Amino acid sequence: MWLMLAFIGAAFAGVLVSRLWPLNVLRAREIRLLDKNGKIRARLFVTFDVPELSLYDEKGECRVALSVCKDGPFLSLRDEKGNIRAGLVADKDGPMLGLSDENGKPRVQLAVRKDMPMLSLYDEKGERRVALSVFKDEPALNLSDEKGEIRARLVVDKDVPGLDLYDAEGKLRAALAVTTKAGSVLGLFDEKGQAIPLR
């Protein structure tokens, strides 16, 4: 008799659970996938309301991490030491891809900020040395020294190419442009910004 009641109770509980919680939906705070050796190779979890998917190599090092925070999704690719070598984020200002060297220092950054594409190259000290951007219809290329000061700037403004050269203080010392009406125009300037007459 008790066995029959237990069987009926279990069946009723199974029907009730299946109605309240469909079997094709899995609910958990964390899910772990293990390889044949019992090592964690993948984790799907939520921490501080941030969902994250992490993939691990055979040594237990996280190599790929995908998360979504309040600012947007973030994808990171890491080397065997756990250093982030590539990161991709898409926030309210636009997408951005960052590439780092083996020391974890950023070396390349590709972004689209408010409809303006930008490519930046950094040296081993973290200073930006090359910046390429397109603002509306005006492409620009900036070359900077080891202190981050722009020393050369190449732009094309309304089909007029121009090259500007700056000294270590950031002052314009030479400017070259090619216009439709005046042709080639060259300007030289001293350290006070005064034009130097050309002979």
pLDDT 10s per residue in the chain (199 long)?
443 334 334 444 444 445 555 567 888 889 999 999 999 999 999 998 899 999 999 999 999 999 999 989 999 999 999 899 999 999 999 999 999 999 889 999 999 988 899 999 999 999 999 999 998 889 999 999 999 999 999 999 887 899 999 999 999 999 999 988 878 899 999 988 899 887 6
**Prediction pTM value:** 0.78
CA gap 151, 164 in Å, rounded? 8
The closest alpha carbon to 42, from 55, 24, 30, belongs to 55
The closest alpha carbon to 151, from 135, 163, 162, 134, belongs to 163
Q: Residue 8's pLDDT is what? A: 39
Contacts of 124 (CB under 8 A, 6+ apart): 101, 103, 105, 107
**What kind and span of H or E run contains 100?**
strand 94-100
**Strands 183-188 vs 30-34: parallel, antiparallel or unpaired:** unpaired
Q: How many Cα atoms within 13 Å fall on the side-chain side of residue 167?
A: 10
The correct CATH number of 115-199 out of 3.60.70.12, 3.30.70.600, 3.40.640.10, 3.90.930.1 is 3.90.930.1
Q: Residue 10's pLDDT is what? A: 45
Locate the domains of the chain by residue range: 115-199
